[in-house]
Amino acid sequence: MSNRLKARTKLFEKFSNQLHLLKNEGIIDIELKYDETYICQICLKQFEKSDLISDKSKNFLTEEDSPPAKLNGSRIALTCYVCNSKAGHTIDHHLINRLKEIDDSKYYNGSNQRIRVEFEDTHVNSEITSQGDGILKVLHRIENNNPNTLEKFIYGLKNKSLGEILTFHPKKKKIENLKVDKALLKTNYIISFAKFGYLFLLDDYYNEIRKEITEPDSDTSGHLMVNNQFTSEQTGTYYICNYNVKSILNVFSLKTDYSETIIGALLPFPNMAPNELRRNLTSQGRKLPGEKVGVTIDTRTYDPKADLFSDIDEINKVLNWIKRTTTPLHRK
C-alpha cells in the first residue's frame, strides 16, 4: 500500500468509526449504506472503503488540504474528488491570488512577479525580481513578447529615447471578493469537520453553508470572519461561550512564501442564523464615548485532547453543552 493510500485509509477509518458510533448511539438518524461509510462533508454522498482508490469513472475520496496546500495547509480530512477539484478551481484559487496580490504590492526581497511595462502606445510583458534595498531587476523574455515590440523597446532604452521613468502595472489576477469569502468559509467548515467530524455538521442547518461552497456564484449569508485580530500562537479551535453567541471559533493561518495572514472565523451551531450570530455579537459590544466597539469573547477551552471520534462520553459532553443555552462548558 502506498504511503498516500495509507494516509487516506487512516483518515477514512477515523471519520467512519465516528459516523457508525454516532449512528449506533442514536445521535444521528441517517441510513448508512456500507459497513464502513464515509460521508463527503461537502456533498453528503456516501462512500465505502474501496472508494479510496482513485477512479475517475465513478468519483472517489481524496485528501483535502485545509487551508489550501499552497497556503501551507495540511491534509486533515477527505472529500470526494468532484467536490475537491471543483472548489480548488472555482474558489480556492481566488484566495491564493488575493494573498499573492498583497505580497506583490510589498516587493519582498527575492520575490518575483509579472508586470506590463507601458511605453509609447504599447507595452512589453516582463518579470521583476526584488533584490531588496529598493532595487528591482527586470527581465523581458522574448517568448512572452512580440519580437518587434520588444526590439523597439530595447532600442528605446539603449538610446535613452524612452526617458528615465517607465510606468509598469502588475499583471491582473483573477480575483473575485465573493469567491475569496467562499474559500475562507470552506476552510472554516473543513477545519470544523476535522475537529468535530459528524457530531453536528450533518444537520440540515449546514446545507446553506454547503450550498455556498458548492455553488460559487450564490450569495453568501454574511459569515463572521476577521483578519488581523489574532496571532499565529493563537491558531486553533475554540468554543465561544458568550450568551447568545455560542459558536465555534477557528483561528487559522494562511502562509505564502513571504507572509502570514491569520484569520478568525466563527461557525454557528444549528438554529442560529449567521446574521443573527453577527447581530448578537455586535450588540454585546459596549460603545463608550471615544472607544471602539469591542466584544470580549469568552472562550473556554474544552479539553483539546478530548477524543471526539471514539469516546462517547466526551461526545455527549459537547453535544449537551451545545443544546443548553447558558451553561458554560466545564473548565479543564
Give the interface with Zn ion as residue ranges (CB under 5 A): 40, 42-43, 80, 83
Instruction: Name the CA dihedral angle for 76, 260, 116, 157, rounded to a multiple of 10 degrees.
Output: -130
Of 135, 137, 136, 113, the residue nearest 125 (C-alpha): 113
Grid cell in block for residue 302: 474544552
* Residue 17: its H or E element: helix 3-24
Output phi, psi for 281, to 5 deg.
Answer: -70, -45
Residue 102: which residues within 8 A CB-CB, separation 6 or more? 259, 261
DSSP conformation letters of 271-295: TS-HHHHHHHHHHTSB--TT---B-
CB of 61 to Zn ion, least distance (A): 9
CB of 59 to Zn ion, least distance (A): 8
Q: Give 215 or 311: the residue with its C-beta nearer to Zn ion.
A: 215
Strands 299-300 and 61-66: unpaired
CB of 44 to Zn ion, least distance (A): 7
Q: Give 89 or 106: the residue with its C-beta nearer to Zn ion.
A: 89
CB of 181 to Zn ion, least distance (A): 21
Task: Answer for the pair 60, 53: CB distance below 8 angstroms, yes or no.
Answer: yes
CB of 50 to Zn ion, least distance (A): 16
* Residue 112: its H or E element: strand 112-119
Q: Give 24 or 50: the residue with its C-beta nearer to Zn ion.
A: 50
Q: Give 80 or 180: the residue with its C-beta nearer to Zn ion.
A: 80
CB of 10 to Zn ion, least distance (A): 20
Q: Give 76 or 150: the residue with its C-beta nearer to Zn ion.
A: 76
Q: Give 42 or 266: the residue with its C-beta nearer to Zn ion.
A: 42
Task: Answer for the pair 145, 88: CB distance below 8 angstroms, yes or no.
Answer: no
